[in-house]
Structure 1
Amino acid sequence: MAVLLWLIAPLQAFNTAVGHLGRWVTIIAMALMVAVILLQVFFRYILNNALPWPDEAARFLMLWMTGLIAPVAYRRGGFVAIDLVSRALPVRVAALLSLGLLTLAFLVLLKGVPLGHAHTMSGCLFKSSSLWLPFTLEFALPLPGMDMSLTLCTRADAAFSITPGWVKMPLALMYASLFVGLMLLTLVNVELLLRSLVTFLGNGAALRPIPQDIVEAE
C-alpha cells in the first residue's frame, strides 16, 4: 500500500501543477478566441472587409484550449457520465467497477498517443495559410521509454534553437494540441487507476483529495 501511495504522490503533484497552468492558459486562449471572433465580425459585417487570419487563429486557440482543459475536466470528474450504478454500490465494489472502466480508457489512450504523435508529425508537411511566426523554432525532446519525442518538425534526437525571421506557422504546432492532450489524459488516467486500486484495497481514506479548484495549491 505504501508503494501505491508513493507512486500516486508525484503524479498527483504533477497533474495538479500542469492542470493549474492549463487552466490559466485555457482562460487566456478563450478570451483571445472571443476577441478574435468579434474582430472578424466587425471587419466582415461593419467594414465589409474580412481579415484572412482570425478564423484560423480561433481554431488554433480552440484546439489548444481543448487539449489543455480536457485532462483537468477528466481528473475532476467533469466529463459527461452516468454514475447511478457506482453511487448505489458499496465503496469497494464501485472502486472495482471504476478500475475496470479506467483500464479500458487507459488501453484506448495508449492507442491514441502514437496516433496523435503521427498526426502532429504530418503537420510538418504543411504550413498555415494565414498565421505567421517571427522566428523558426527547432525543438526535440526524447520521451523516456517511448519510441517517439516531443518535437516540432525536426529529425534530431534532441534540439532547441530559435532563428529570427518571419515564417508561416507549421500546422504541426496546431496539431500538437492533440498529442499533448492525449499525453496529459494518459497521466491523469494512471493517477485515477492507482487511486481506484488503493480504494479497492480498503485504504481510500489515505488518499489526498483531488482539488476541485485547481487554482488552490494542495
Structure 2
Amino acid sequence: MSVLFGILWPLERLNTVLLGIGRVIAILAMAIMVCLILGQVFFRYVLNDAPNWTEEGARFGMLWMTGLMAPLAYRMGGFVAIDMVERALPRVMSAVLSLILLALSLWVLFVFWDRGLNNHLDTLSGRGCSATLRWPFGIEVGKCGEKFQNRFQYASLWVSINLLILVNIELVIRQIITLLGQGDRLTNHAPDSEIAGSS
C-alpha cells in the first residue's frame, strides 16, 4: 500500500501543478477568443470590413481552451457519466467495474496519443501553414515564415491527451487504493462529490 501512495502523491502534485497552469492558460485563451469574436462582429456589422484572421484566431483559442480544461474536468468528475449500473452494484463490484472502465479509457488514450502524434502533428497538414494567422511584428518562425504552422493548433490535442493520460493513471491508482479499503486516506479533488450528478 505504501508503494501505491508513494507513486500517487508525487503524481497528484504534478497533476495539480500542470492542471493549474493549464487552467490559467485556458482562461486567457477563452478571454482572447471572446475578444476576437466580439471584434469580428464589430468590424463586420459596424465597419463592414471584418479582418479575415479573427475566426481562425478564435478557433486556435478554442482548441487550446478545450484541450487544457478537459483533463481538469476529467480529474474532478465533471464529464457526463451514466452510472446506474455502478450505483446498483455492491461496493466492491462497483469499484472493480470502475477500475476496468479506467483501464479501457487508458488504453484508448494511448491509441489517441499515437494517432495525435503521427496523424496530426507529423503529417502534411500539420507541417502546413495557416491561411490567415501570422506572427506579430513581422517575426518569422520556421519554414512558414511569418505565418503560424498548423501544428501549433494540432498540438492542443496532443498536449490534452498527455494530460488526460497522467490524470487517468492517477485515477487508476486512486481506484486501486479504494478497492483495497484505504479510500478514506485519499484527498477529494472535486469541490462537490456530486459534481457530475444531475440531481
Tell me the TM-score range normalised by the shorter chain.
0.7 to 0.9
* Aligned-partner SS, 1:209: coil
Whether 1:189 aligns to 2:168 is yes
Tell me the residue number matched to 2:127.
125
TM-superposition CA deviations, 1:3-39 (whole Å, max 9, x none): 0111111111111111111111111111111110010
Aligned twin of 2:12 = 12
CA distance in 2, matches of 1:113, 1:136: 29
Q: CA deviation at 1:199?
A: 0.6
> Matches of 1:137 and 1:206 in 2, distance apart?
49
Question: What's the CA shift for 1:136?
Answer: 4.9
Alpha-carbon distance in structure 1 between the residues aligned to 2:90 and 2:96: 10
Structure 1's unaligned 5+ residue stretches are 139-152, 154-165, 214-218
1-side partners of 2:72 and 2:28: how far apart?
16
CA deviation string 1:13-66 (max 9, x = no partner)? 111111111111111111111110010011111111110110000010000001
Could you tell me whether the CA contact under 8 Å between 1:92 and 1:199 is conserved in 2?
no
Question: Which residue does the alignment assign to 1:70?
Answer: 70
Residues 43 and 49 in structure 2, CA contact (< 8 A), matched pair in contact too? yes
Aligned AA for 1:120? Answer: L
In structure 2, distance between residues paired with 1:88 and 1:205: 22
Q: What SS is found at the alignment partner of 2:148?
A: strand
Count of residue pairs the alignment pairs up? 187
Matched residue, 1:206: 185
The structure-2 alpha-carbon separation of the partners of 1:111 and 1:208, relative to structure 1 and needing over 3 Å to count, comes to same
Distance 1:73 1:96 in 2: 22
Q: What runs of 5+ residues in structure 2 fail to find an aligned partner?
A: 193-199
Change (3 A) 1:137 1:10: farther
Q: Which residue of 2 aligns with 1:93?
A: 93
**Aligned-pair identity (%):** 48
Aligned residue identity for 2:155 = A
- Contact 1:93–1:200 at 8 Å: present in 2 too? no
> Larger helix proportion, structure 1 or 2?
2
Q: 1:168 is matched with which residue: 141, 147, 151?
A: 147
Q: Distance in 1 between matches of 2:73 and 2:101?
A: 17
TM-score with structure 2 setting the length:
0.87
Following TM superposition, by how much is the alpha carbon of 1:137 offset from its aligned partner in structure 2, in angstroms? 5.4
**Pairwise CA RMSD:** 1.8
- 1:212 Cα deviation (Å)? 3.2
- In terms of fraction of residues, the more strand-rich structure is 1
User: In 1, distance between residues paired with 2:63 and 2:173?
Assistant: 29
Letter in 1 for 2:76: R
Give me the whole-angstrom Cα distance separating, in 2, the residues matched to 1:25 and 1:137: 22
Counterpart Cα distance in 1 of 2:91 and 2:185:
14
Between the aligned partners of 1:101 and 1:136, the Cα distance in structure 2 is 46
